Structure 1
Amino acid sequence: MKIFLMQQTHTDIGYTDRQEKITKFHIDYIKQAIRISEKIDQGFEKFKGFVWNNESFWIIERFLESTDNQWKQRLLEAINRGHIQLTSNYLNLSDLVDIDILKKYLKKAQQFGEKHQIRIDSAISMDVNGWSYGYLDAMLEAGVKHFYTCVHNHHGLVPFNKIHMPFYWENESGEKLLVWHGDHYAEGNAADIHAKVMGEVINQDIETQAIVKTEQLERIKNYLDDYMDSMHAQGYTFDFLPLMSLGLFVDNAPPNAHVMEVVSAFNQVYEKDYQVEMIGIHDFFDYVKSLPIEIPTYKGDWNDWWSDGYMSTPQSVVDYKEALRNYRKIILLQKNGVSFDQSKIDTLEYQLIMFAEHTWGYFTSVSEPWNKMTKKLQSRKEMFAAKANELADILLDDFTESHGEILKSTGRPLHYEVINPYPNERIEMIKFYINWWDEFIIKDGYQIRNTKTDTVLDHQEIRIDENARREIRTTIVLKPYERLVLKIEPVMKRKRLVPLDPLITNDTDYDFISPYVDTQVFATSFYIETPYMKLAWSKALGIHTFFDKKIKENLIRKDSETGLFTPIYEKSEVEYQYKMRVPEMRSIRGDYGRNRKIFSTLRDYGRLINVKVYDKGPLVARVHLKYQMKGSTFTIVELTAYHNQPRLDVSLIMQKDTVWEPESIYLAMPLTTQNSNETLYIDKVGSIIRPRVDQLPYSCALFYTTQIGYALSSEKRSILVNLKDTPLLHLGSLEPGLIVYHDKKQPNVDKQYIWVMNNYWETNFATNLGGFYKFDYSIFLDQPTSDKKQLLENLKNLERQSIIFQSLNK
């Protein structure tokens, strides 16, 4: 049996040390690998046969920007000698990553390879447990031909229910990528095929020596025997086996060429049973392709089991998502001829992709959440999102200032320029603001004029910021890339001394609808109604009715255990009141399986306890529903219904308690078009898929990271749901149970829950969810369509917002 050993470093931007320190480590690892190559080239026999597989091109990029030309030349020479092989993947990423940024960064390796005539056509990704179907397209577009994956099956599983399985991953266009879907990225270390090295400082250098004992060689043999028994049990028939390994048994590990001494000693003793050979990633795939074996082809999304942990930092995800929406505006403007500072855009993209990288913090994040390194690494991670958010705002500020924005000044006229940065016509309700220092201008009344059409627009005013500012809303139609100016004009309006409605009373909002008012639009303590929909609720059931007036159906699933938009809290309790150490805080999280539940998990459904009507006007009606829920001191669900379109905006506002135990918060979304032929679509990185249909066999079918949101579509209606701030969608029951994966038994359409936040990971991810939050969502009742591209475009249009600023233009 041939054992192909591939040494690499698993790149975690965090986890083992500060993010900036890890950058220095990886730069030095390349230098170490270069020195090893030069030693081998000079005849150092102990290291002969060693190959370093550079795991991510991010490492090379950091090396190139921090070294001189001499080091760069030495790197190229080491690559040409075959001792270092470069790979195409930029980083180990979560499904938060933007598709356009992903494509740009994946092409960096291709561009470097073409410039220096170096082969870089294989990608490696470790630890994460899945990659969006759009990731496949991005890799193919970047010249990647081979993809080696090493999933971590602690909180996830492998597709096909098999490890070490080659397959061709085919996209919708019929292009294919050869994948070797392997085992854990440190399996070679688990087998003890690594070198224990002692070092001594001599003449300002470290002289190293490997310790190789007979007992280690015996352990390797026994491990490989057991490993191959398990592989044969799953039907493995090849006479070779690849194993990934690390130079040290830790993430962010350096190269360790002394492993060749272990390999040589082992081969001498057990050559009749095994021959271990170090190999480069490109050479390994060449070997696989040279074999006369049948390799199956599969299509579909490889949904990531590890895509939920980022919701341990929900506020940073909110900041990231806002930055990403603004980034997309900036890129569209740039494509339409607007000039931006490219260096700022480059930095913005880098901050975005670094936040999307799969590592969140220090390994003590659960066991010692007070640890200063824990706090430091978390703040560094959150800084990527904060910096991206800041840069996106700065770039848009640069744009608005260069296009006539009046910055705060005495006598600034109330002219508001609106720019549609999108390539499609839009009907949009826009918002702009009158501050308290301008109150004197409009104290006797005002109107909104569209200066382009010279028409007065209907508007509605909502008081915000402790009622100190006026948020003005109006609806306009914008052509692609159109610019227009809205002007606030003071108008003398006599205030009525007696209401127009002769029957008005102080409690109209609560128990009486007058026959003399608009009978199409109501906002009461018991329901909210527009020409398109009606939502009704009760203390016992929460929101029990979401009535679509067009198709005359209640859009809430009949099998829902709770009302629409009900907040739900889960917690697994640990008794720790008198303990000095609480190892259970970590161990209970280790018990969480692939379904993110344990039998003892407690669940609390929010109970509706009060309602208040905040706004009723010509454009929107707004109601606050107050819930009582464990884990939260203050919980509000805000509903904003539009009078002139079938749209509902939803906000979850809460003060979350600080809890050390593992917990989650969900928002119930049991939506349906009430048609047996309805289909669920999810917008993922670079693709829109039907969950539990367009997936690799036995991939995760429980939760999904969306880019914009999801859609339910049937012959009756399409329901579009924009997950603006919390992009994680959970499908199916919240009860603990057997693993939920794609095995053709799970229905495509299931109960939906927005997974708002969680802290169940036992390492690395943040633990403290406490604080104040506001998360926004939108629902739109659209025309029926089964066209995925049209659904995606409609979803994009739901979250898009034009650019508005006070302007010199008239």
Structure 2
Amino acid sequence: QPEVLKIHLKNIDDALDMIAATKNYPEAAQFKWNIESLWAVEHWLKQANPQQKAAFVQAVKDGSICLSALYANIMTGLSLPEEMFHYTDYAAQLRKEYGFAIPSAMISDVPGYTWATVTAMAKGGVKYFSSGPNFLGENHPYLGDRVGHFVRTWGDKPVYWQSPSGEEKILFWTGGKGYSSWHGTAPGAIFDRGAKKIAAYLEELSANKYPYKMVQWRYNVVADNGPVDTAISRFVKEWNEKYASPKIILNTPDRLFAAFEQQYGKDLPTVSGDITPYWEDGAGSTAQEEGQNRVNSLRLQQVANAYAILAPKRYDPQSFYEAWTNILMFHEHTWGAHNSITQPDVDFVTEQWKIKKQFMLDGDQQTNVLNARLMEGFSDKASQRIAVVNTHSWPATGPVEIQVAGASVKDAKGKILPLQQLRDGKYVFIAENVPPFGSAVYTVSNTPAPAATSFRRGAQSLSNGHISLTWDAENGSITQLSGPDGHNFAGSFRDQGLNSYWYVPGQDPAEAQTAPRLQVSVLEEGPVVTVISLKGEAPGAQTLEKKIILYAGAKEAVIENTIDKKPIRTKEAVHFGFPFGIPAGETTLDAGYGTMRYLKDQLPGSNMDVLYGRRWLDVSDATRGVQWMLLQTPMLEPGAMIDERLTIAQSHKEWRKEGKPTSTWFAYVMNNYWHTNYKADQEGTSHYRYALRPHGVASGAEMEKAASVFTQPFLSFPLKAGVKLPGSLFSLSNPAIIATSITPQPGGSLMVRLFNPEKNTQQTHFQWGSLQPSGIQKLSGAQPLSAGAEISLPGMGVHEYIILP
């Protein structure tokens, strides 16, 4: 990355020189430079002198330099919902500081993008999205490396792409030649190679009956991170002087897409759905780090909400921006070196992984610091009073772990609740109905709590009165999972139930091996929580441990899998199987800000081998279902584990073109299937946490709430004597509407993002608590509304409001 940064900094300098040198050329030949990632711009501006900055600002305003609104080339399938809204943070800063427009975004190399990308981009001011995927030429069976059916489906087929709510849309246009079709061309060599190459593309467009009179073609010479070609303007000038058609224009997405839209926009098709991406599976080569980065993303949003609740004046936007930047950069698509598989131990490879991993480590450290800063002035380790903060917009109930010893806790009304000591020395209790965007205080007491417990445990079974489970004594898979209606939601795959372990030694999933025998033990048993451990040897690992965790009163069972991985460099993968006992069920996945029905909401060209569940997947029929909640591992495989055998020309895997309805899904946890970039092996301990929640008729709001509480549990700390916490900021009158984030703004205002997870339009209004605002204003710039105004959100709609002080 440091070497790449040097190249990009020099390229901006060279581009400015070229812009000045060609300012008197015909407009079509005047040099243009498209900067695909604002990461490079931020670093360039930090080291530029005032004269350079002035020239840069003028070039952007003149349209000679085009800025992508995205900070980097992100792999969207890995991003958590709120994380996606930070793709354009730096673009917002540039707009504010310099008055730039920045209406377009571009992503290079990465094939496919999740549906919520549309929502996030549109909310970030993006109208136009230029995709330049990996491209290796017409002789490649898929046109690009591990791009599946994306390039053939979407290349040179511009469309309006609509968000899940239908309220937003962007003009989406994938370059048929990707970003790399000029690779191997030296600067200036276009004079020798250009005419033949251009003619061949025109013939191809004609043969494909391309219906438009303009087409985008990325021009990137030499290789990735190539230099400025100082000959290109002269080539275009001479070409246009010589030929009447085709006319070549050095252009930017801003101008090209605007001109294209003006001419063809009224006739463009509109599509709505997920273009399920292909490259995110490589993150399974560093599963522990990817899992931690996802946890960091969720925690950082939660800490921002907590600042709004407890200390909005202490919120530091720059510190949060820096933490979000590190989280994004870990999800940026360059994971490692080109020779990371063939030469995994050379310094060039190991150093690049250190740099990549550091983004995650820095984001983790920054999130911890921000949380610690918030607690300053509130927390005292010696206190017996425990503050529990609910960062969600509805009253919530859940477990709280503390370091303070006692026999019970007492709530504000004097109710005595059990406090259970755990093996690691911590204590746990259940906090009940903590107010929305508010807190509750519990006092640790030595008074014994009522002795009644709802748990029933057998040799291979456990129940808390709501959830009942039975597990296989040999392999530890869950063979029975039921809620109050008694229906068994556990299906079967190869004679195993839910949470079965599968290790594939090689590339053929038919060869998958499982854990031969696990030993059962009871780790925790008390009035608050019971934890069952199933531990032993497993193929590909030193040890495997499956924990079944059930809390008193909980409506979901928690699973925590721990793998102590062996370092293996031959091809391999690790999966956990979840066959659900709903034979005719429909599968719905968390799409971020919206939901995606498997098959029905996937657009052509989507990855049918691996999907992305963000925080949950649900399988339901008309009357009942089960929600499978995810934390560290978003990658999900429908029906079968991925087949990586090289059956296409003996050098490429065959990507599925179609999927089939299924109630059997797999968590795709680890692999080393790539031949480049990603790590060759991984070893050591990593943890994967899931939850299973049986339910009746599926409800979008209940799915969202359950997953939010699971992935973002209560914050808690011992409360300093004399400190009074603020009351609940507000709630929403309609429980189907959720406030997903609340962020302090300059001048004492707050930005609130509302989401309607239901399919139909919903209305709500704010019910104010400790906040008593003068009014609310939609972020899009409409007139201020009264504080009690009714708000309407379409199904899957996302609206942002400023709460005025």
SS in structure 2 opposite 1:604? coil
User: Aligned pair 1:690/2:623, yes or no?
Assistant: no
2:13 & 2:578 partners in 1: Cα distance?
A: 52
Q: Is the 8 A contact 2:422 2:524 kept in 1?
A: yes
Residue 138 (structure 1) aligned to one of 120, 124, 134: 120
Residue 170 (structure 1) aligned to one of 146, 162, 181: 162
2:366 is matched with 391
1:253 is matched with 226
Q: Is the 8 A contact 2:79 2:294 kept in 1?
A: no
Residue 751 (structure 1) aligned to one of 646, 664, 686: 664
1:159 & 1:319 partners in 2: Cα distance?
A: 32
User: Aligned pair 1:154/2:150, yes or no?
Assistant: no
Aligned counterparts, 1:537-686, within 5 A: 537-538=471-472, 542-543=476-477, 545-558=479-492, 562-572=496-506, 598-599=507-508, 602-672=511-581, 674=582, 676=584, 678-686=585-593
1:480 & 1:310 partners in 2: Cα distance?
A: 35
Seen in structure 2, the aligned counterparts of structure 1 residues 675 and 364 have a Cα distance that, compared at 3 Å, is closer
Q: Which has the larger radius of gyration?
A: 1
Report deviation, 1:784: 2.4
Q: Is the 8 A contact 1:448 1:486 kept in 2?
A: no
Q: Could you list the runs of 5+ residues in structure 2 that have no partner in the other structure?
A: 135-143, 646-652, 723-805
1:183 is matched with 176
Q: Is the 8 A contact 2:68 2:106 kept in 1?
A: yes
Seen in structure 2, the aligned counterparts of structure 1 residues 600 and 272 have a Cα distance that, compared at 3 Å, is farther
SS in structure 1 opposite 2:300? helix
Report deviation, 1:352: 1.5
1:782 is matched with 695
Report deviation, 1:315: 1.8
One-letter identity of the residue aligned with 2:469: L
SS in structure 2 opposite 1:91? coil
Seen in structure 2, the aligned counterparts of structure 1 residues 774 and 790 have a Cα distance that, compared at 3 Å, is closer
One-letter identity of the residue aligned with 2:217: L
1:527 is matched with 461
2:50 is matched with 69
Higher RCO structure, 1 or 2 (CA under 8 Å, sep 6+): 1
1:84 is matched with 65
Report deviation, 1:768: 2.1
2:701 & 2:509 partners in 1: Cα distance?
A: 43
Q: Is the 8 A contact 1:568 1:629 kept in 2?
A: no
1:239 & 1:475 partners in 2: Cα distance?
A: 64
1:23 is matched with 5
Cα RMSD, aligned residues only: 3.2
Q: Is the 8 A contact 1:263 1:276 kept in 2?
A: yes
- For residues 673-697 of structure 1, the C-alpha deviation after alignment (integer angstroms, 9 at most, x for no partner) is x363x33222233332212211222
Mean Cα deviation higher: 539-548 or 700-709:
539-548
Residue 419 (structure 1) aligned to one of 376, 389, 400: 389
1:58 is matched with 39
User: Aligned pair 1:321/2:294, yes or no?
Assistant: yes
2:681 is matched with 768
SS in structure 1 opposite 2:693? strand
Report deviation, 1:450: 1.2
User: Aligned pair 1:730/2:712, yes or no?
Assistant: no
2:415 is matched with 455
User: Aligned pair 1:428/2:395, yes or no?
Assistant: no
2:438 & 2:97 partners in 1: Cα distance?
A: 41
- For residues 488-527 of structure 1, the C-alpha deviation after alignment (integer angstroms, 9 at most, x for no partner) is 334699xxxxxx9xxxxxxxxxxxxxxxx98960142x33
Q: How many residues align?
A: 698
Q: Could you list the runs of 5+ residues in structure 1 that have no partner in the other structure?
A: 1-18, 198-209, 435-441, 494-499, 501-516, 573-597
Q: Among the aligned pairs, what percent are the same residue?
A: 19
SS in structure 2 opposite 1:288? helix
One-letter identity of the residue aligned with 2:389: I
Report deviation, 1:698: 2.6
1:288 is matched with 260
What TM-score, normalized to structure 1?
Answer: 0.79
- For residues 75-101 of structure 1, the C-alpha deviation after alignment (integer angstroms, 9 at most, x for no partner) is 133335543223323211112334444
Seen in structure 2, the aligned counterparts of structure 1 residues 561 and 696 have a Cα distance that, compared at 3 Å, is farther
- For residues 532-565 of structure 1, the C-alpha deviation after alignment (integer angstroms, 9 at most, x for no partner) is 3333333566535223142222212256653321
Seen in structure 2, the aligned counterparts of structure 1 residues 323 and 559 have a Cα distance that, compared at 3 Å, is closer
User: Aligned pair 1:806/2:715, yes or no?
Assistant: no
Residue 370 (structure 1) aligned to one of 345, 348, 360: 345
1:34 is matched with 16
Aligned counterparts, 1:185-334, within 5 A: 185-190=178-183, 194=185, 196-197=186-187, 210=188, 216-217=192-193, 220-228=194-202, 230-232=204-206, 234-246=208-220, 248-263=221-236, 271=243, 275-291=247-263, 294-334=267-307
SS in structure 1 opposite 2:518? strand
1:235 & 1:562 partners in 2: Cα distance?
A: 52
SS in structure 2 opposite 1:608? coil
Mean Cα deviation higher: 107-116 or 135-144:
107-116
1:129 is matched with 111
- For residues 561-613 of structure 1, the C-alpha deviation after alignment (integer angstroms, 9 at most, x for no partner) is 533211111132xxxxxxxxxxxxxxxxxxxxxxxxx5597421222332222
2:487 & 2:14 partners in 1: Cα distance?
A: 67
- For residues 294-320 of structure 1, the C-alpha deviation after alignment (integer angstroms, 9 at most, x for no partner) is 321111122111122122222212321
Seen in structure 2, the aligned counterparts of structure 1 residues 251 and 683 have a Cα distance that, compared at 3 Å, is same
